[in-house]
Structure formats: structure tokens, C-alpha cells
Amino acid sequence: MDRRVVITGIGILTPVGNDLPTFWDALSHGRSGIGPITLFDTSAYDCKIGGEVKNFEPSKEFRNPKDARRADRYSQLMVGASRRAVIDGGLEGWQGIDLDRAGCYLGSGIGGLKSIEDQHTNLIQKGPNRVSPFMIPMMIANIASGLVAMEYGLRGPNISMVTACASSNNTLGEAWRTIKFGDADLFLAGGSEAAIAPLGLSGFGNMKALSTRNDDPTAASRPFDRSRDGFVLAEGAGVMVVEELEHAKKRGARIYAELAGYGLSCDAYHMTAPTPDGSGAALAMTMAMRHAGVTPEQVDYLNAHATSTPVGDIAETTAIKRAFGEAAKKSLVVSSTKSMTGHTLGAAGAVELAACLMAMRDSLVPPTINFHEPSPECDLDYVPNVARERPIRVAMSNSFGFGGHNATIVVKKFED
């Protein structure tokens, strides 16, 4: 269990950019990727805004362009982000890699929602014989992880995590655990989501979970702000190359950071609401710090789950204060990049870990934009509106999901 684990590649597809430099440039300059939804007609919906991935051509992401037509959009995004991670990690060709010890832990909170919707429409309107024979493999939440393995011939462990918005943090953490245990040397780990569909917008909208600030989309996601009115639904994917240290060094890989800690817990409280006292989320954060061998005072930056919901942002603030004690106000800085990307659901953890890694590289904390008047209960340093220069040696990323799933990742600046 003393094997060290590092991150050597990053692949990103998000509403603020389809590559790592564009993504980080937007976040570091406080630019939002939220706008009117264009994927379908939203005139009948209360919420008409979202975070769409723009200028994405699925056929260019697969080795065989025909395979793109047999994949749901969430799988297309996962394959695209994985390809970017492979290129960024210097793994093109996979020379010298034992593919029996290279795997995929890739998750999604919902899976192929649009495929379910489209094929159900075919069933109702045209009859059972017109339902696509590809419907099942298109919609199941594990298929993206399988497709990525097929793209690269990765025969090692392959699991898809489905823990709602904690999914990709769980994939990253379980990749860390499997490598430390010695059962693999390298993973593509992360998550993808493509729930901007009529059914998704209806379901979240009727829960009253979504912002309806349709007249000002870029200001709609406003974590910790007093006037927040719900999250902004977004799509996207984030994938990391997670690798055993000596394996990475042997092939001369660039190392972004050490993946040092992982914590997970369950609120066991409510289907959608977090426990008000923050005890479940605090347990995950405390466990991650313990595994990483760091104290609360040593954590420089926390990328919060903070979705911009009235209840959730207060509960996370309470959890941070519970886990960090005096350090929560004394030394920690917190921000929510969902203020710019919207909420990518099962992809959020990996997307936000990418932000942590870039923040660590550049000693620059991305801001929480649209933060003008804090809620009384939200009283931490949220880096309002403008990025801040700050050396970052230890960063933490939180992801919490419906069902009470909590998952926290800690990364450290790499020291050989």
C-alpha cells in the first residue's frame, strides 16, 4: 500500500472549453460558459439555460467514425475527453505499456438519457419494432467505460461508478486505491454527463433545483451568494491519467501532482438534500486528509461542490468548518468553478480536479464569480469574482451526490 500515485494526463470537454488551455484560461479570467440552450426548443420550460459543450464533432473522436453513431452523447464526450487525456499523457501508441495492467474507471451519474428518451418516443409513435437494437448498449451507464477500453485495448480493471454527482471523484479515488493495492499500474479515470435533454431539464426543473435566471445566463450560477436560486444544468467530461509513480517515471511522463488522499461517506439522510450539520461531507474530507497525511492547516485550496442551491451551499460551508476547525477561516481559501461551468453532474469531480491541478501549477486560485452578497451562513473566503495568486501545495476537491454520496480527493504538489 506504499505505492505512490500521480496524475500524468488531463482531458477536458466543458462549456468553457474543449481543451485544457482554453478551459483554464476561462476559469482563471472568470468567464462563464452558460447560455441559452440550443440543443432543443425550451419555450415550454421554466428553465431555458444551460452549459453546453460547443463545437464538438463526435465522429472525430473515435478511431472508427461509425462507432460515434452508435454511442450516446455522454459516451461520445467520454471518448473525446479520454482521447485528450491519452494525448496529454504521452500515451499515443501505448508503447511499452502492459495493457493487462491498464484499466478504465469512468463514471456517469445518469448515463444515456437522450437515448432512452429518443427510443421511448420511437416505441410510442412507431411501435416496438422501431426501437433501435443499439438502445440498451447506448443508454447503460457503464458503456462509456467499456467503449474507451475498446478504443485503446485496455484489459485491466474496468468499473463504472454511478454515484450521481460524486461519480467521477469515486472513479479517481478507486483508481488510486487499486493502484496502491498493486492490481494495476495505470487508469483512465473520470466521468461524463449529457443530461441537457427534454427529460433531464423537465425532471430537474420540476424539482425546483434549477436556476431560472433566463434573462442573465452568465450570472445564473452564483454559489454562496444570497440571491442564488438553483444550479445550472451542464454537460461535459473530464478524464485523468492516474498512474503509479515509478511506472510514470520509467516512461518519462510529465507529472501534474500526486493523488494523495481519498475520502468517501454517505449522509444516510435524504434522497436529495444534504444533512444540515455537514457530518457526512465532513467525514469524507477528514478521511481524505488522513490518507494524504495532511492537517487542515496544510490545505491551501478547496474546490467546493457548491452548486448554487440554497440548502446545499450552506450545508457544505457547515461541513468545511466541521472538518477544518479554525483553519476554515484562518488559512483555507474556497471557490466554486461551477459558477462558470455550471453543474456537469457525474463529470463534475474530474472537471474540478483539473481546475485544482491548473491552480496548483500556476499558483492561481480560480474565482467564484457572481458572488456579490454572501448568505449569512456562508462566511468563508470564497475568492469572489477575481482569481487570486496563492502558492498551492495541497488542494482538495469535493463532490456530493443525490442519495447522500460524498467523495473527496486531495492532491499534493509532486515532490520526488
Q: Which residues are catalytic?
A: 165, 305, 343
* Cα–Cα distances in angstroms (integers) from residue 336 to residues 238, 253, 278, 340, in the given order: 16, 30, 18, 8
Q: Please, which residues have CB within 8 angstroms of residue 33's CB and are 6 or more apart in sequence?
A: 14, 15, 16, 17, 26, 51, 234, 340, 341, 342
Cα dihedral: 272, 276, 277, 279 (round 10) = 0
Phi, psi of 333 (to 5 degrees): -115, 145
Residues 104, 149 contacting (CB under 8 angstroms): yes
Residue with cell 498493486: 182
Contact 383, 280 (CB under 8 A): no
- Please, is 207 exposed, middle or buried when counting C-beta atoms within 10 Å of its C-beta (0-12, 13-18, 19+)? exposed
C-alpha cell at 115: 437515448
Contact between 381 and 331 (Cβ < 8 Å): no
Cα-based distances in Å from 241 to 6, 83, 260, 364: 8, 11, 15, 23
* Single-letter amino acid, residue 405: H
